[in-house]
Structure 1
Amino acid sequence: MAWIRSVLHLLWMAITVIPWTIGVVLVSFVASRASAWWVAVNWFRVVMWGTRVILGVRMEVQGYENLPLGKASAAVLLSKHQSTLETLWLPTIMPHPLAFVFKRELLKIPFFGWSMARLDMIHINRESRTVAMKHVIEQGKRLLGQGTWVMMFPEGTRMPRGEEGTYQTAGTRLAVESGAPVVPIAVATARCWPKQGFVKHPGVVRVSIGPLMESTGRDPKALMREAQAWIEAEMRRIDPEAYP
């Protein structure tokens, strides 16, 4: 049954992404990329409707009150990364537009990548770490100044359930240089939507948004260690079965 649900959900995503891609591209040309972002978010909401109804996956969020208030507020969101699910769901609950930092190769994905190319995101070339870091800082500061929050996955890739990767400091370096606070986020999405394997499983996915971590005057490495400690401790709280 889970396999059939997974097939139906994939078809749901494939069918709905085409008209939404056209909408994002058109709006980005006739209005603005900020407007195109909210068109894209509506597709994420459609996908999440299918995730809830077709797959039987329900999302629970804790700590939403920890997000900064105000239209001009800035934030660098540092999230655990376990599956595609958090990249689709987190934008639907955020009060600000988000700019994801991702590898440039994703822009080649038909329809999805094409629409991402029309949004104000931060595309990096992983072959040159120094150039990528400079690009993240420059573009990140510009976007934060416009009221867009920057979303980063400090482990750099999706991690299997119950595992911890190496946390990179690009996010905290951006936070320190821009003065924006860090918001750590723990996600237990692999419980229902694993990194590997086509089949998704019904159940409850817990997401926890942590307290603001001020960046002013901080050392980026120390700030990342603090964010990592909170995220990994929270992962063990919201998904204890994954950490025997």
Structure 2
Amino acid sequence: MLVIRSALFNLCFMTLTPLFSLLVILFRPFGFSAAWFWARMWSQSIFALLRLLCGIRIEIEGREHFPDHPCVVVAKHQSAAETVAMPLLVPPYTWVLKRELFNIPFFGWALALMGTIGIRRGSPREAIKQVMQDGGKRLESGFWVVIFPEGTRSSVGTTGQYQPGGVILAQKAGVGILPMAHNAGALWPKRGFIKKPGTITFRFLPYIPADEVVAARRNDLMQQLQTDIEAHTRELGG
């Protein structure tokens, strides 16, 4: 039964994602808010299906840590679930992700039109420069910036190499950092076909104000973020 339910969900996911991506593309000329509405509808639809077909619920902890102004969200990356959920978790934002995703029909095109920052991971120096330039502009325009410091999804119980882009951006732009941990990989595994029933918990950790970010030594702040995010991820079972 679990296999059948997962197969049905995967089929719905592959059908709905290009459909909602097309709606984002069609409504983008009418402004960001019009397109953002469909991005959130996509997230809500996918998680409604996850609950109905796979028995997966979501729980959000730590909203009290949200600042009332744009910041950099530094999040654990171990599943597709956190990328799908992000429009439901934080205010309008832009992602930092690998540029190759823009080549995905409809979904990638929608990402590009929404101002997503696509970097070439083969050129770290150019990637950092682009994150600083484009990320700074997005923050100035009132958008949050979401970064997965590991760059790619890590398996449950493992830690990828944390990259400094999010910290550098926050320090250069003079904004705070909001860390996020979760256990999504335990229920929606990396490259996993089977979706396991249970609760995905997205946990936002205490906000690090801009003055503390700017004053911190970069390596020390990177280590603090990695230690805190990984510890809470393990606590949640991720």
TM-score (norm 2): 0.94
Contact 1:186 1:234 in 2 (8 A): yes
Q: How many residues in Structure 1 have an aligned counterpart in Structure 2? A: 235
Mapped partners of 2:155, 2:21: distance in 1: 30
Q: Secondary structure at the match of 1:150?
A: strand
Aligned counterpart for 2:71 among listed residues 70, 75, 92 = 75
Q: CA deviation at 1:27?
A: 1.3
Give the 5 Å matches for 1:87-126: 87-94=83-90, 96-126=91-121
Q: Secondary structure at the match of 2:214?
A: coil
Q: CA deviation at 1:90?
A: 2.3
Mapped partners of 2:40, 2:219: distance in 1: 33
Give the aligned residue type for 1:146. Answer: S
Contact 1:192 1:205 in 2 (8 A): yes
Give the 5 Å matches for 1:1-244: 1-29=1-29, 31-69=30-68, 73-94=69-90, 96-214=91-209, 215-239=213-237
Contact 2:150 2:161 in 1 (8 A): yes
Q: CA deviation at 1:204?
A: 1.3
Unaligned runs of 5+ in 1: none
Q: Secondary structure at the match of 2:74?
A: strand
Give the aligned residue type for 1:23. Answer: L
Give the aligned residue type for 2:198. Answer: G
Mapped partners of 1:12, 1:39: distance in 2: 17
Q: Secondary structure at the match of 1:40?
A: helix
Mapped partners of 1:65, 1:117: distance in 2: 31
Q: Which structure 1 residue ranges, 4+ long, deviate > 3 Å from structure 2?
A: none
Mapped partners of 1:105, 1:147: distance in 2: 26
Q: CA deviation at 1:178?
A: 0.7
Give the aligned residue type for 2:226. Answer: Q
Q: CA deviation at 1:172?
A: 0.3
Q: Secondary structure at the match of 1:101?
A: strand
Q: Tell me whether 164-173 or 219-228 shows the greater mean CA deviation.
A: 219-228
Contact 1:80 1:185 in 2 (8 A): yes
Q: Secondary structure at the match of 1:216?
A: helix
Contact 1:38 1:97 in 2 (8 A): no
Identity of aligned residues (%): 36
Mapped partners of 1:90, 1:82: distance in 2: 14
Q: CA deviation at 1:34?
A: 4.3
Mapped partners of 1:100, 1:176: distance in 2: 18
Q: Secondary structure at the match of 1:204?
A: strand
Give the aligned CA root-mean-square deviation in angstroms: 1.4
Contact 2:39 2:87 in 1 (8 A): no
Unaligned runs of 5+ in 2: none
Contact 1:33 1:120 in 2 (8 A): no
Q: Secondary structure at the match of 2:114?
A: coil
TM-score (norm 1): 0.92
Q: CA deviation at 1:127?
A: 1.7
